[in-house]
Structure 1
Amino acid sequence: MKAKDVLYGVIGCGEHAVRGHIQPGLGTGLSLAGVFDPVRENASRAASLSRTLVTHFVSAQALIESSEIEAVLIASPDIHHPDQLLAAVKADKHVLVDKPLAINAIGMVKVREALRLADRKDLVVSSCHPRRFDPPYIWMKRALPRLIRCFGAVVSVHLDFSYHKPQAMWKHRRSLLLDHFPHEIDYVTFLLGEARFRATRLHDGHDAYGVAGVRADGITFSFSGTRRLDQTVYPENIRVRFERGEITINTKTGEGWVNDHSNSRSETLSVQPTDYDVRFRRLMGNFVRAVRGREKSYLTRLDLVVNTESAVALAHQEHFNSLRR
């Protein structure tokens, strides 16, 4: 017997919500039932993607409180995430909230409260870290044991991206570190496992950021990224350094390079490149299956806290150190 679709509502119906969540969510067991966006054209565009009748709500709170809605996707501007997350959990809704979950310490308090309450109510709270579902990033994760046997232990991980210039004016006042560091630190955790770490902000602006740090296991990491391209493209690079070699992958093309330090030889490799449809469809599929109790959410409560708390600290205080705890 086919399970009923999970009826969900969307708060914030901009381009990312449409392309990264609503379209990939079609056919996964999610059914769009409600929308709210202060820009009516955005809400109408999102609603037009649904195969069923969609309610246009007059406010985010009205959507959250509606008995029609079982789950809420929060894709509003970052500043609203903590309050909307907490309100949704109080209203007994499962939540998929875009990152960052908070942008300051006050918001972080609300996020922690929401997660504690979600635990008591047995509600799913998830977020958007699609690299865990992306072919080249998965390839590196699966190949890691074999690479360690060939080249020795992991020494460092470097992640880099180069995106198009932000268009929305509010994004010109946004910390790129707050927006993107959660992605990078989440992938390092996915790749290597959980570990406490300390990190330092090297630079942060609306169109560039850099962070460097070290984990409790001694593995160092560095992240850098810019949003200065005129074209709407998303090239990303993964570089993992081992004791006796290193692997670099261009995730957009799937091209890679293997450098063997023992014999000074280099060779190319080819992996499946980034597939945005696949990674977001898998992410949305995990959310609906977690809501139905068929599998666990791909992010733990600890993942959500660490990814957000460390980004907030680095954006406001320059340093983050969980090694002292």
Structure 2
Amino acid sequence: MKKLKVGLISFAHGHANSYFASLAGMPEVEIVGIADESQSRVASIVERSGVPYYADYRELLASDADAVVICSENVHHAKQAVAAAEAKKHVLCEKPLGISVGEMERMIAAARENGVQLMTAFPCRYLPAVTGAKAAIERGEIGDIVAVKGTNHGTNPGGWFTDKSLSGGGALLDHTVHVMDLLNWMVGSEAKEVYGYAASRFGETKIDDAGLVHVKFAGGAFAVIDTSWSRPRSFPTWGDVTMEIVGTKGIISVDGFAQKNEVYSDLAGKGSWSYWGDDMDRLMIESFVRSLLEGRPVPITGEDGLRSAAVALAAYESAKLGQPVAL
């Protein structure tokens, strides 16, 4: 069996742990290294797995890896993805793809010029409710999409996410991109105008933890997304991904994490929701790996990442100006 040799760059983003577990469970994958400037952050996983550790991601890029998964702080995505592409490695990069349109364009260009693929990590495309809605839309069950109301609520993740010098932005950037990618995928029309609101409403951090994004599409549809870190620590789960999709013939309601059990634990001291549905991270990782092994285009491209992040960045500009911004 041909194996894909994969390395991981940084475990700064918590999704890296899930991605690692998914890769480790695939017989067609060989994990050839973990690079992280913070050895303590990956010490336990390196010790358990026996995977080689690199303090400098450039040492990993000098290895025989075929591809890398980047889960570093947002400000590092571009330089690491460009370096990986120049080392002829395929890239799966955590969202948001970048923190400026220019650097995302450089990432896409570097992959193209070096003959490798760049995929953006948008696992929400693999949620059962989302794939079901996409199929129903393609069958024409609700006609043409007219409007969408979406949410991506979450708990403030803290740490580097609230440090703009590392994150590039708060909740508006962090949470707009997931739902915006689903809208781009389903509406089938480019976003042309954005009106945004961003503020700090739910905590003591100065970075934005509340956001609303209004989007007009070239085809006439419009959408509004609540992208706030508004979930208190006491809430049963970290957040949600929902959409109310209004068409000319009907409406589809999507609750991405509705496949859950309610768990009441004295140990935890509160009720919680335990998700039992399909593992979206695993499905995304499998699609990345198999696309590369089979020589097919990756399903979620760098251009997809650019289109969604560009809306979030435009929303910040709109919030600053107090008026809509054209894309």
State TM-score, norm by structure 2: 0.80
Q: Which piece of structure 1 moves more, 54-63 or 304-313?
A: 304-313
Give the aligned partner of residue 39 of structure 2.
40
What are the within-5 Å matches in structure 2 for residues 225-244 of structure 1?
225-227=227-229, 228-230=231-233, 231=235, 232-243=237-248
Counterpart of 2:303, as a letter, is L
Q: Following the alignment from structure 1 to structure 2, what is the Cα–Cα distance between the partners of residues 120 and 191?
A: 29
Determine what percentage of the aligned residue pairs are the same residue.
22
Structure-to-structure mapping, 1:93-242, within 5 angstroms: 93-104=89-100, 108-145=101-138, 148-149=140-141, 152-171=143-162, 173=164, 174-205=169-200, 206-227=208-229, 228-230=231-233, 231=235, 232-242=237-247
Post-superposition Cα deviations, 1:232-261, rounded to whole Å, max 9, x if no partner, equal: 433332101233643323332259xxxxxx
Change (3 A) 1:102 1:283: same
In the alignment, is residue 311 of structure 1 matched against residue 309 of structure 2?
no
Deviations 1:180-204 (A, max 9, x none): 2221211012112242421111225
Contact conserved, 1:152 with 1:243, CA < 8 A, in 2?
yes
Query: Alpha carbons of 1:139 and 1:278: their partners in 2 closer, same or farther (altered >3 Å)?
Result: same
Secondary structure (helix, strand or coil) at the match of 2:257 reads coil
State the distance in 1 between where 2:295 and 2:48 align: 26
Q: After TM superposition, what 4+ stretches of structure 1 lie above 6 angstroms from structure 2?
A: none
CA-CA distance at 1:90 after TM superposition: 1.3
Alignment of 1:48-67 (within 5 A): 48=47, 50=49, 53-64=50-61, 66-67=62-63
Distance 1:74 1:54 in 2: 16
User: What are the ranges of 5 or more consecutive residues in structure 2 without an aligned counterpart?
Assistant: 201-207, 261-273
Contact 1:8 1:30 in 2 (8 A): no
Unpaired stretches in structure 1, ≥5 consecutive residues: 256-272
1:249 aligns with 2:254: yes
Q: Check 1:276–1:96 CA distance in 2 against 1; reply closer, same or farther (3 A cut).
A: farther
AA at the equivalent of 2:118: V
* SS of the residue 2:279 aligns to: helix
- How has the CA–CA distance of structure 1 residues 31 and 241 changed in structure 2, closer, same or farther, with 3 Å as cutoff? same
Per-residue displacement from partner, 1:135-180 (whole Å, max 9, x unpaired)?
Answer: 011111112255x54x553210111132223232543644211112
Q: CA deviation digits over 1:82-108, x for unaligned, max 9?
A: 11111111111111111112213xxx3
Q: CA deviation at 1:49?
A: 5.6
> Do structure 1's residue 286 and structure 2's residue 287 form an aligned pair?
yes
Once the 2 structures are TM-superposed, how far is the Cα of residue 225 of structure 1 from its aligned partner?
2.6
Offset at residue 42 of structure 1 (A)? 1.9
Return the letter of the residue paired with 1:217.
G
Deviation at 1:14, TM superposition (A): 4.6
1:106-131 deviations in whole A, cap 9, x for unaligned? xx323322312311322011111111
On the 8 A contact 2:38/2:55 being kept in 1, the answer is: no
Shift of the alpha carbon at 1:317?
Answer: 4.7
1:88 and 2:84 correspond: yes
Shift, 1:80, TM fit: 0.9
> How does the TM-score come out when normalised to structure 1?
0.81
- Given that 1:235 and 1:251 are in contact with CA atoms closer than 8 Å, whether structure 2 keeps it comes out as yes
Q: Secondary structure at the match of 1:212?
A: strand
- Structure 2 distance, partners of 1:249, 1:311, is 22
What code does the residue aligned with 1:144 have?
I
Query: What is the one-letter code of the residue matched to 2:73?
Result: P
The alpha-carbon deviation at position 290 of structure 1 amounts to 2.4
SS of equivalent to 1:162:
coil
The one-letter amino acid of 1:74's match is I
- Native 8 Å contact 1:22 1:46 kept in 2: no
Code of the aligned partner of 2:232: L
Aligned-partner residue type, residue 97 of structure 2: L
- Structure 1 distance, partners of 2:307, 2:42, is 32
Report the aligned-residue RMSD: 2.6
On the 8 A contact 1:177/1:204 being kept in 2, the answer is no
Give how far 1:46 is off.
3.2
Mapped to 2, the partners of 1:120 and 1:172 lie a distance apart of: 33
Would the aligned equivalents of 2:192 and 2:326 in 1 still touch at CA under 8 Å? Answer: yes
How many correspondences in the alignment? Answer: 295
